[in-house]
Amino acid sequence: ELKVEQNPLFLSMQEGKNYTIYCNYSTTSDRLYWYRQDPGKSLESLFVLLSNGAVKQEGRLMASLDTKARLSTLHITAAVHDLSATYFCAALRDSGYALNFGKGTSLLVTP
Amino acid sequence: GAVVSQHPSWVICKSGTSVKIECRSLDFQATTMFWYRQFPKQSLMLMATSNEGSKATYEQGVEKDKFLINHASLTLSTLTVTSAHPEDSSFYICSAPRDGYSPLHFGNGTRLTVT
């Protein structure tokens, strides 16, 4: 069974600082997704990573994928308050398009 | 803009009643859609895979008689929570794959409160 583990689960960081969220998955998966969720809202797609070594960047967020290590990272650069949200990674199951999600990282960026 | 529409956004119902939630793909056909449930401050858990023209596939531990799924067309899947109880109160989110590479698109979710 595909298990997805995310850490840390809670992260409080100061504006301007950098930090990385880690996502490990237990079995081979073709794709890794990162989503953002604001309170009371649904999921907003951030990145989809399709292959080993994939790196994608959007603004202050950068995601990478190492399929050999079964590890994806979401790096936050010079955090700003607007990045406060819960971030989920999710790995694609081996059949179809169902996802297994990590537990999420609740990020709070403080002044 | 949104590519997956979910309705209603929120619903409050009394124990014992049934609630239907709709999930529509707006500009593409989806032979498969997925239903997830999210309890407060928790992750999303897959409930079932909705298959157009055939029976849904339920995850282990999900009661198929309580959560009825119908995927009658290539753009619409419905989830009916039958005889709802307070423990069914949750955030229900559907998703649909548009193609093989784009992010899976999620609906805006339905917050169900059973009193």
What is chain A's mean pLDDT, rounded?
Answer: 94
Reading the block at residue B101, the tokens are 């590479």
Q: Do A42 and B107 touch (CB under 8 A)?
A: yes
In angstroms, what separates the C-alpha of A14 from chain B's closest C-alpha?
A: 22
Q: What is the pLDDT of residue B2?
A: 66
- Surface-to-core class of residue B65, CB atoms within 10 Å of its CB (0-12 exposed, 13-18 middle, 19+ buried): exposed
pLDDT at A13 over 90: yes
Strand partners, B51: B32
Q: What is the pLDDT of residue B99?
A: 75
The sign of the torsion formed by the CA atoms of B28, B34, B39, B45 equals negative
In angstroms, what separates the C-alpha of A102 from chain B's closest C-alpha?
A: 7
pLDDT at A86 over 80: yes
Average pLDDT over residues A8-29: 94
Interior CA angle at A55 toward A38 and A39, to 5°? 5
pLDDT at A30 over 90: no
Please, are residues A109 and A80 in contact by the beta-carbon 8 Å criterion? Answer: yes
CA distances in angstroms from A109 to A18, A27, A77, A85, B10, listed in the order given: 11, 32, 12, 9, 29
Stretches where chain B sits below pLDDT 70 are: 1-2, 100-101
- From chain A, the residues in CB contact with B104 under 8 A are 33, 45, 97, 99
pLDDT at A53 over 80: yes
Q: What is the pLDDT of residue A72?
A: 97
Q: Which phi-psi region, left, alpha or beta, contains residue B80 (left: φ > 0; alpha: ψ -120 to 50)?
A: beta
The string of pLDDT tens digits covering residues B12-32 is: 999 999 999 999 999 889 889
Alpha-carbon span B70 to B27, nearest angstrom: 20
pLDDT at A31 over 90: no
